[in-house]
Amino acid sequence: DTDPLRDGIRNFSSRPEVAAALDQKVASGTRYSESLKTGLIYVAVPVSLGNEVVGAVRLSYSTQQVEDRVHEYWLLLALAGAVTLAVAAMVGILIARWVTRPLGELTGAAREIGSGDLDARADASHGPPEVRALASSFNLTAERPQVLSNGSVNFEVAFDLTGDGKVRFIPARALVPQSPAGAPVVGLQRSSSAFNALTRAPERGYTDDSTLVVGVNEVVLVRLASAGCIYGEPYYAKVAVDSVIASERRIVLRTLVNRNCGYRALTEGLPNT
């Protein structure tokens, strides 16, 4: 015994595991020790000399020590689990912010555009690739020309700026691959006359559903087919590009529309045919 309770010789032959070993058996297991007042984990093996058993060797260990070690390991595992959960939660929060913050900015930009601020753009430089791609697509959509429907000029056309500061007129049917339902045919024609000098729209010379690029102070004639006119008569308008503010992507236009079906007069006052 490496840690005897008292000095002197003690007889362990009455211990069940030692008795089993003296009977040429290997004994192992756990039991409660009355002398130690604790549980034991033990193993006992016979010691033989030839065919004769001359003794036994027993190794024992207090179950309390084992339980203490197990509890210590459980505590370490619990601590490791808590640290892992904390790290995972922190990483999850960072990833969530990495994803949701650009989405929040994108939502804010969409609301600003919906409120009339057409210069609002989303930040496409942060967030995961999918969110950056979504923000880029949103910005491209926001930069596309705005289609005017039932506006002050009362025809379906969009406007865009070219790289050299000119204005591109784009009929709705030329803007999208598939024409919007009910989108009218729009004819465009460049005029060499000044806005005020142009008093009557010509009947011919229009190019239908095709883009037209003009500069500042140039005038464009517009012929718009209208389903509301009897016999499908069109109505006419003239549009002058007064100025272009490229840094703000703004175009100042002057327009006059004759909403009388088939009337080509482009002057203020009562229309002439």
pLDDT per residue, tens digit, the chain (273 aa), is: 555 555 556 777 778 888 888 888 888 888 887 777 778 888 989 888 888 888 888 888 788 888 888 899 999 999 999 999 999 999 989 888 888 888 888 888 888 877 767 678 888 888 888 888 888 888 877 765 544 444 433 447 888 898 898 999 998 877 765 555 556 789 999 999 999 999 999 999 999 989 999 999 999 999 988 767 777 788 899 999 999 988 888 899 999 988 888 889 998 876 565
Q: Return the pLDDT at 177.
A: 57
Q: Return the pLDDT at 241.
A: 94
Q: Return the pLDDT at 113.
A: 75
Pairing label, strands 157-161, 167-171: antiparallel
Strand partners, 260: none
Q: Give the tokens for residue 103.
A: 């989405």
Strand partners, 245: 250
Q: Return the pLDDT at 243.
A: 92
Q: Name the amino acid, one letter, at 85.
A: L
Burial class (CB in 10 A: 0-12, 13-18, 19+), 262: middle
Q: Name the amino acid, one letter, at 173.
A: R
**Contact by Cβ (8 Å): 265, 199:** yes
